[in-house]
Amino acid sequence: MLVKVRLMSSLSIGEVARKSGRAASAIRYYESVGLLPAAMRENGRRRFPSTAVRTLHVIDIARRAGLPLEEIKALLDGEERLDTIAGRRLQTLEDQRVWLEHASRCTCAPLDDCALFA
């Protein structure tokens, strides 16, 4: 009976795709790189827990925020906290902003003479 309850509360890859707005290929990719846990198999077909839709939503937001997959995996696995990742990301963005500010004022003709690329 427990098995039936588990299978009834699971979703096919098509259902996960419809509910999450993601392509089935993206769902398979996220499963292959460990962002989604390996799906259960029922008659050879993938069955995901309903929580996979929420996980895909988290992945989508994190990707739009610019987080690389390695950091998203660490976040989902509980290896790193969101505030730690966000703090590190903010520092990276600040470093990029400063560099771009200098680059926007650069008047070097050939890049070989530019100190920004030294």
Nearest alpha-carbon partner for 81 in 69, 90, 71: 71
Domain boundaries, the chain: 1-80, 82-118
Please give the average per-residue pLDDT across 75-87, as a whole number.
Answer: 96
Tell me the whole-structure pTM to 2 decimals: 0.77
Tokens 């290896």 sit at which residue? 79
1-80 domain in CATH 1.10.1660.10? yes
Higher pLDDT, 113 or 92: 92
- From the list 22, 28, 25, 19, the residue with the least C-alpha distance to 46 is 28
d(CA 113, CA 103) in angstroms, rounded, equals 13
Please name the residues in contact with 49: beta carbons below 8 A apart, sequence gap of 6 or more: 9, 10, 11, 37
Confidence of residue 8 (pLDDT cuts 50, 70, 90): low
User: Which pair of structure tokens corresponds to residue 44?
Assistant: 């050879």
